[in-house]
Structure 1
Amino acid sequence: MLFNPQPSKDQKNFRFPLQCVWLKLNGSWPLKPTVTGEFEKYFRLLYSTWAWYVVAMVGITIGFQSAFLLKSFGNIMVTTENGCTTFMGVLNFVRLLHMRLHQRDFQQLLAQFVKDIWITSSSHPTVERACARNMRVFQVISVLQSSLITMYCILPLVELYMLTVNVEPDVLDSMPKPFPYKMLFPFDANHGWRYALTYLFTAWAGVCVVTTLFAEDSLFGFFVSYTCGQFRILHTQIDNIIPDSYAATRAGRGTEAVFQRECIQRLDKIANKHCVLFNFVSRMEEFFSPILLVNFLISSVLICMVGFQLVTGQNMFIGDYVKFLVYILSSLSQLFVLCWNGDNIIQNSLEMANHLYACNWESSVKVAADEEKKESFPIVSYSTSAAFRKNLQFMIMRSQRQTCITAMKFSILSLNSFSGVRIHISYNTL
């Protein structure tokens, strides 16, 4: 019922990151393109209803937070603290809405990854292990962000328990009750069943926000890691064009013309795979680009707000400093991981040109004897053809143009962009 494409090889070991379970629970994961029965038809209806309910739930909670933000706008401390949770909610509300409105694009991106990008451990074990290691960063970030939202949801309950122990029931009944975040409600949410339902409603909205954040980032990192792995496989194939072509020619008792055709065929296969990678990165940019732009803008605003408060704030408790440091480090680390992945694609794509130029296209392969029969032959030189060198030149020219992911062409996802954002924010804060 949910769309789970499988590769043609090694299906047993293929799986999307574990964090993607939350995208399925939040209703963001695409469904199968075809319906085969009544049960799947009703499931599709219920799943879509749940997905839009999650979007509405997050939107309503952001509305409650925004109302409190407007009410306390004069208090810079409260405004900064509440602005962090509100803007983070807005960011992930946009993410949820984007994935819901672009289900077909999401489905096609998943299918193309499984078909063209996935690397099996049986074919390239070293590269596959390196890709798996890169995903550990996202696993750590997922655990930290899960711990953060757990604290937001549980600590108000601990505070409420302490109030029930230390405060008289009559006084407690008239006091405002704690919630996961600062909010202003258009109804009385501090008493009885209304408090319980409102608390559960807003707490689950926060869970949906945080899980969407690290789940989608993990999926993005998953795509990027294996795309870079495919580039590294191409690098190795380029390095071995000449010796592999000679070995194939030698095995078939071929001539120099056979050797030259073998070189061209292997180069054409590499060029076709390079086009496949370029097309996948373009499709990935098309899907993630709007989200990345909103991410850059909102994270920049948050970092400026919190940085200004840390620099100019006076008489703040140590707990406030720790809280604001957590906010600013979270935003910076999330931006850094995204830019680091984008930079990996740029570096691996540009490296193609170096490997192409250094593949020994200018050298000749000398054949002196038949190694199997131990018979001596005249020394013969096999050289690459003019057609091979011409194709190689075009590939080098194309590889010198970086393959990258942008935030709606506003900024390239790279470490240089991250440094520029950080320096610009630090300047404005000071």
Structure 2
Amino acid sequence: MLFNPKPLKDPISFRFPLQCIWLKLNGSWPLRPQRSGEFERYFRWLYSVWAWYVVAMVGITIGFQSAFLVKTFGDIMVTTENGCTTFMGVLNFVRLLHLRLHQREFQQLLARFVKDIWITSSSQPIVERACARNMRVFQVISALQSCLITMYCLLPLVELYMLTVNTAPDVLESVEKPFPYKMLFPYDANYGWRYALTYLFTAWAGVCVVTTLFAEDSLFGFFTTYTCGQFRILHIQIDNIIPDSYAATRAGRGTEADFQRESVRRLDRIAGKHCVLFNFVRSMEEFFSPILLVNFLISTILICMVGFQLVTGKNMFIGDYVKFLVYILSSLSQLFVLCWNGDNIIQNSLEMANHLYACNWECGVEVAATNADNKRADEQVKMAAPTVYYTTNNAFRKKLQFMIMRSQRQTCITALKFSVLSLSSFSGLISSSMSYFALLQSFNEDEEN
């Protein structure tokens, strides 16, 4: 029922990151385009209803939080504490809505990745292992954010238990009970079954918010990591284009003209793959850039508010302190890894120009690698005779020149053209957060004085 494309080569070993299962559970994953059978049509309808229910659930919970935020707006400490969860909810409400409204684009992006970007372990084992290692970072961030939402959901229950132990039963009904986040309800949510249902409703909304965050970020990292892997494969192919063309020509007992045709053919194939990578990065930018812009804007405020709570919080419960510490660590790491992946695409795309220029296009001599006899350490190193290649023709050099000119213009992902996803953008966001933090601290000092 769900859209799960498979590559033509080695389809059994292919799988999306494990975190993506949460996108399937909350209704954000696209369905298969085919409609066959009554059961599948019924499933598609139920899945769509569930997806919009999740969006509505998160929106309602944000409304409860926003009402409390408006009510306590004058108190800086309470406002910043509640603003952390409210802005996080807004960020992922936008993510859920964006994924739901762009199902076709999401489906096309998944299919294009599987067809053009995925790297099999049988074809490029070294590059594939490097990409798999880079994905472990997203597993760590997912674990951090899972711990965060677990604390938000369970710590109020611990507080409720302590409240029931220390409070008389006749007084307990009138006491305001804890919820996962600070909220203001249009009804009395502290009584009996209303409290239980409201708690479960808002807690599950928080789970949907956090799981959508790390699931979509893991998918974005999956795309960028393997795109960078494809760039590295192109670097290797460019470095070997002249030796491989010469070897293929000599193996077929060809002439210098055959070498020229073979080298141009290989360069054309590299250029074609290069264009495929450009187009895929452009598709990623078109799909993810609205979310990245909202992420940049809200993360700056979130980091500022959480840091303010950690620094200025007085008589804070140890559980709340740990909760805010995990919060700021997960927010910083999430933002850093996104910018780091964007910076990797920039660096790998610019590195193409260096490899193209150094591909031995000027022909000449390449000295083969040295061979040493491992049996005798004192034996002299035997040097192989140098290999003399044919000179590349004008058609090869003109195409190479155009490719170098294109590679000198960076390939990047932007946040709706407002900011480039890079490490310099990350440092700018941290600088902005520190400026907002200093402003909040000055307001707090004025309020205390």
CA drift of 1:166 comes to 2.2
CA drift of 1:380 comes to 8.1
Matched residue type, 2:186: P
| Residue of structure 2 equivalent to 1:81 | 81
1:85-234 to 2 correspondences below 5 Å: 85-234=85-234
The CA deviation string for residues 201-259 of structure 1, in whole angstroms up to 9 with x for no partner, is: 00100000000000000000000010000000000000000000000000111010000
| Residue of structure 1 equivalent to 2:420 | 412
Secondary structure at the counterpart of residue 13 of structure 1:
coil
Matched residue type, 2:225: S
Secondary structure at the counterpart of residue 19 of structure 1:
helix
Secondary structure at the counterpart of residue 384 of structure 1:
coil
| Residue of structure 2 equivalent to 1:266 | 266
Conserved 8 A contact 2:156-2:180: yes
1:2-401 to 2 correspondences below 5 Å: 2-308=2-308, 313=312, 315=314, 317=316, 319=318, 322-364=322-364, 382-401=390-409
The CA deviation string for residues 65-96 of structure 1, in whole angstroms up to 9 with x for no partner, is: 11111111121111111100000000000000
Matched residue type, 1:386: N
CA drift of 1:429 comes to 3.0
Q: What is the TM-score normalised by the length of structure 1?
A: 0.94
Which region of structure 1 is more displaced relative to structure 2, 294-303 or 100-109? 294-303
Conserved 8 A contact 1:84-1:327: no
Matched residue type, 1:132: A
| Residue of structure 1 equivalent to 2:446 | none
| Residue of structure 2 equivalent to 1:372 | none
CA distance in 1, matches of 2:313, 2:201: 35
| Residue of structure 1 equivalent to 2:410 | 402
CA distance in 2, matches of 1:156, 1:428: 30
CA distance in 2, matches of 1:390, 1:115: 30
| Residue of structure 1 equivalent to 2:372 | none
5+ residue gaps, structure 1: 367-378
CA drift of 1:272 comes to 0.2
Q: Could you say if the C-alpha distance between residues 159 and 269 of structure 1 is closer, same or farther in structure 2, counting changes exceeding 3 Å? A: same
Same amino acid, percent of matched pairs: 82
CA drift of 1:335 comes to 1.0
Matched residue type, 2:392: T
Matched residue type, 1:409: K
Matched residue type, 2:399: N
CA distance in 2, matches of 1:19, 1:428: 33
CA drift of 1:58 comes to 0.2
Q: Could you say if the C-alpha distance between residues 380 and 11 of structure 1 is closer, same or farther in structure 2, counting changes exceeding 3 Å? A: closer
Matched residue type, 1:90: V
- Provide the alpha-carbon RMSD of the alignment: 1.7
CA distance in 1, matches of 2:389, 2:185: 84
Q: What is the TM-score normalised by the length of structure 2?
A: 0.90
Residue-pair matches, total? 418
CA distance in 1, matches of 2:416, 2:256: 49
Conserved 8 A contact 1:310-1:324: yes
CA drift of 1:309 comes to 5.2
CA distance in 1, matches of 2:97, 2:280: 23
CA distance in 2, matches of 1:162, 1:324: 21
The CA deviation string for residues 26-55 of structure 1, in whole angstroms up to 9 with x for no partner, is: 000000011011010000000000000000
CA distance in 1, matches of 2:298, 2:172: 38
Q: Could you say if the C-alpha distance between residues 382 and 191 of structure 1 is closer, same or farther in structure 2, counting changes exceeding 3 Å? A: same
CA distance in 1, matches of 2:257, 2:348: 33
CA distance in 2, matches of 1:380, 1:221: 43
Matched residue type, 1:410: F
The CA deviation string for residues 341-360 of structure 1, in whole angstroms up to 9 with x for no partner, is: 00000000000000000000
CA distance in 2, matches of 1:42, 1:317: 50
CA distance in 2, matches of 1:309, 1:264: 62
The CA deviation string for residues 315-342 of structure 1, in whole angstroms up to 9 with x for no partner, is: 4547466554443333222111100000
5+ residue gaps, structure 2: 367-386, 439-449
Q: What is the aligned counterpart of 2:431 among 399, 418, 423? A: 423
CA distance in 1, matches of 2:160, 2:324: 24
CA distance in 1, matches of 2:96, 2:432: 29
